[in-house]
Homo-oligomer: A and B are copies of this chain.
Amino acid sequence: MLDASARELDPYQAGCPTRRILDLIGGRWTVLIVGALGEGTARFSELLRRVDGISQKMLTQTLRSMERDGLVIRTVTAEVPVKVEYTLSEAGRTLTEPLRALERWSIEHFSGVAASRSEYESRIAG
């Protein structure tokens, strides 16, 4: 059920604030981090390993945006060294399925996309 404000939101309208949300949740790193946290709570260093190739800076920034937007909960435990863990919030968990669908689509359709690209390039060149 949509509330009153949600009924007025329309991402097809310029200036609709949902467009910024679309940018965030559809981004490559959010897709992969939500997927990784869908497997369970993780520490920063575990996410850094799981999402191979992400820089520390990009992981920090993306996690901070996701925390700010209420997708991720950051828990700090006073140990030595301090333990910092990340968990999907309830809202974040509702994103798991749609984003996994994108992940699956990318894998399943990769060879078709690659074939289409090379066919297109040779058509343009020819």
| Chain A residues proximal to chain B, CB less than 8 Å | 2-3, 5-6, 9-15, 17-19, 21-23, 25-28, 31-32, 35-36, 50-53, 67-70, 91, 94-95, 97-99, 101-103, 105-117, 120-121
Contact = CB atoms under 8 A, between A and B. Distances in A.
B107 A2 contact: yes
Given A19-B28, A27-B26, A110-B17, A101 B103 contact: no
A116 B69 CA distance: 5
A51 to B, nearest CB: 6
Contacts of A97: 101
A25 B101 contact: no
Nearest to A121: B68
